[in-house]
Amino acid sequence: MAVGVIGGLFMPAFALYGFATMATDSCGPDQCAASVTIPLSSAPFLYLTGACLALLSFAFPWTVRWRKARISVAWIGTATSASVVPLLLSVML
């Protein structure tokens, strides 16, 4: 389920990333404020980290003993990837 949610977030996050980079057209990459450039540089890494964590949850053994760890890693990965959308919205506002 986590991989499906992250996959569904790809297109909105990609579209927001494209529009958020257009917000830096007026100031250029060297003269923009850090409140604009830091989210733009960290958004791809957050999304990929969340996707890797969700995929890592498949590596845990599928026994009852590892169920909580598998679910926790999947939830953390989903939350990490989902945090990209509000981060990019903050750049656009």
Q: First-to-last CA distance in the chain? A: 31
pLDDT digits (tens, 9 = 90+) for 31-67: 888 888 888 889 999 999 999 999 999 888 889 999 9
Q: Phi/psi of residue 82, each to 5°?
A: -70, -20
What percentage of the chain reaches a pLDDT higher than 70?
98
- Which residues contact residue 51 at a Cβ distance below 8 angstroms, ignoring those fewer than 6 apart? 3, 6, 77, 81
